[in-house]
Amino acid sequence: MSITYKAVPDTSDHPDRPRSSLQYLTEGTFGRIYTYPNASDDVVYKMVKERGHGSKLQEEFSIYDDIHQSLPPIQVGFRVPKTIEYYKPSCPNEPSILLDRSSLPIQPEVTQTFNLPDLQDQNQNGEDMQIRLLRLYLGREDIPLRTEQIQPGIKTDPPLDITRYNRLSSTLQEEYGWGLPDLKGVPSSMGRLLANLHWLGGINCRDIELVLGGGGNDGRVEEVQCWVLDFNQCQRWLVPHLLQSSTSSAPNRTSPTTGIYSSNTLLEASKRLSTLIYTQELYYPRPHQGEFYEQFKNGYSCAIELILNQQYKGIRLESKDEIREATKGFFEEYEKLDRDKIRRRSRMGKQIV
């Protein structure tokens, strides 16, 4: 991990790249993303909107670093942008900046196909949306056909539910001979990713983004790949590396939970994670979605066994049983929340979404 105590970019570090030449790409509630136009490297600069949030950006940088060390991207099926450096401002009036290796934007063929009239209504001016990435909202079934752009000229990340995903992939296959990643494997990949982020990354995965982006430069041939982005809202729920070091000879084990979860057992904390994922995140399939949910659940559960047999192989059997019970509790809570929501909406005569 690299932390530099100065503000960048500036003329001393990048004489050919003054700060004023940064190009605005997009933004979220936490920060704005910039790049240098026509640069040869795939680098973006993330700047917080509020100057007091620099510590959150530094924590996000730390989380990215931990994930890169622990997450097996080929096994998980999702790629993570590579962070390069966090720059701590040299004076209070300068913003903190996170430099990271950008997830490449979606292929232009995908953008053009998404904007076809039979797949996506155009905006009021009849102009195609400026699309950067596509969000994987597999847990939603009520996404309207029309997606509004943030504002003209600013790249946006429209959502794909399962129906849209299939239509877009089929059209790409017909037109170009290639499609999106096989939808049969995406829910399982989501499950494997979430398990690894929960139990190896030790984070609650609040408000992370699961998206489709460009194929990247990792030597793989896919035109489109799955990416996981934005960890600035995440909170740690496990003490880093504590479970891995919990051997059978440890006399008095420290509680593995931390932060707002520190008073919880693994089972209690896991149920809280389930509530967070179900009530606030739109990416993951829901139990009433049948096959897609079973793939998601199976991916998570299989990843847990892999973690226990590889990364956690040295911990005592009691701890492994606790983790399996916590995983079981996660899905019991997830399914209970779904049943309760179905009953509520049924009484109100509303569609299940």
Q: Which fold has domain 3-101?
A: Phosphorylase Kinase; domain 1 (3.30.200)
Residue 127: its pLDDT value, please?
A: 54
Q: How far apart are CA 97 and CA 49, in angstroms?
A: 11
Cis peptide before 152 (omega within 30 of 0): no
Amino acid 105: pLDDT: 77
Dig out the tokens for 50 from the structure.
């509020």
- Cite the residue boundaries of each domain of the chain with CATH code 3.30.200.20: 3-101
CA 280/CA 137 separation, integer angstroms: 12
Dihedrals phi, psi of 43, to nearest 5 degrees? -120, 140
Contact 99, 85 (CB under 8 A): yes
Among all chains, which residue has been given the structure tokens 């640069």?
39
pLDDT at 6: 35
Q: Round to whole Å and give the CA distance between 199 and 213.
A: 25
The pLDDT of residue 135 is: 93
pLDDT at residue 250, as a whole number = 44
The DSSP H or E segment spanning 76 is helix 73-76
Query: What is the pTM (predicted TM-score) of this model?
Result: 0.85
Report which secondary-structure segment, H or E, holds 85.
Answer: strand 83-88
H helix count then E strand count, the chain: 8, 11
In a structure prediction context, what are the per-residue pLDDT tens digits for the chain, which is 353 residues long?
Answer: 443 333 344 433 443 455 567 777 777 778 888 887 776 667 888 888 877 777 888 888 888 888 887 776 667 789 888 888 888 776 666 667 777 776 677 888 888 888 776 555 544 444 556 788 899 999 988 776 655 554 555 557 889 999 999 999 999 999 999 999 999 999 999 999 999 999 999 999 999 999 999 876 555 567 899 999 989 899 999 998 766 665 544 444 578 999 999 999 999 999 999 999 999 999 999 999 999 999 999 999 999 999 999 888 778 778 899 999 999 999 999 999 999 999 998 887 766 65
Beta bridge partners of 5: 88
d(CA 240, CA 260): 15
Q: Do 5 and 19 meet the contact criterion of CB atoms below 8 Å apart?
A: no
- CA Rg, the chain, in Å? 21
The pLDDT of residue 259: 95
